[in-house]
Amino acid sequence: MPTLRIGDLAPDFEQASSIGPIRFHDWLGTHWGVLYSHPADFTPVCTTELGRTAQLKDAFAQRRVKVLALSVDPVDAHLKWIEDINRTQHTTVDFPILADADRKVSTLYDLIHPNASTTATVRSVFFIDPAKKIRATITYPASTGRNFAEILRVLDSLQLTDQHSVATPADWQDGQRVVILPSLQDPELIAQKFPQGHEAVTPYLRLTPQPGR
């Protein structure tokens, strides 16, 4: 299976989940999506990750993002695991967890890396836009838990840069200055798009307040 790349169409699938069968593209609808994988149920790092996702329910909703987790264990194991997650992480998991026992989705999304493990999935994150295109990916080894502040930061950057002719610089956080795209050179158009002005550090590095702030 070829590795999925940024700009590729996110593969569609139908698979069982903790809330019933999911046909991915229909379930996503017009929302952004985050699809992320877990090596197995009843594992410590995954328990904290799913708990953190549930705690961030409002943050994802504000960004019109649907979250879909994946583990290769069956639905009945997911339901028992969710009880543990809710109890230990003091939250309520109400987003779906795919039951990928047949490895169908893991294969589509290249989540099993044989040099790491021949059976367990790595910790991949796929950021998917409303057009069902993959916009970014992050992959961690099974031993490293995900940084959810970074997941939200990437979503903020993707959504902001889709709406405006900007990019986000290193370590950017929502509300900080952004970079005017080098392709934008017309002074009148720049003044129109960025009425708060900008700082030209160099001819190609031009910083401006975040649009809409």
Q: Any idea which residues carry the catalytic annotation?
A: 46
| Gap between the terminal Cα atoms of the chain | 43
Radius of gyration of the chain (CA): 19
The enclosing H or E element of 125 equals strand 123-128
Long-range pairs for 165-174: beta carbons < 8 A, 24 or more residues apart: 165/193, 166/208, 166/210, 166/211, 169/207, 174/210
CB contact set of 149 (below 8 Å; sequence gap of 6+): none
Question: Rounded distance, CA 131 to CA 116, Å?
Answer: 32
Parallel, antiparallel, or unpaired for β 123-128 and 32-38? Answer: antiparallel
Give the C-alpha separation, 162 to 36, whole Å: 22
Backbone torsions φ then ψ of 37, nearest 5 degrees: -110, 155
* CA atoms of 82 and 116, how far apart (whole Å): 26
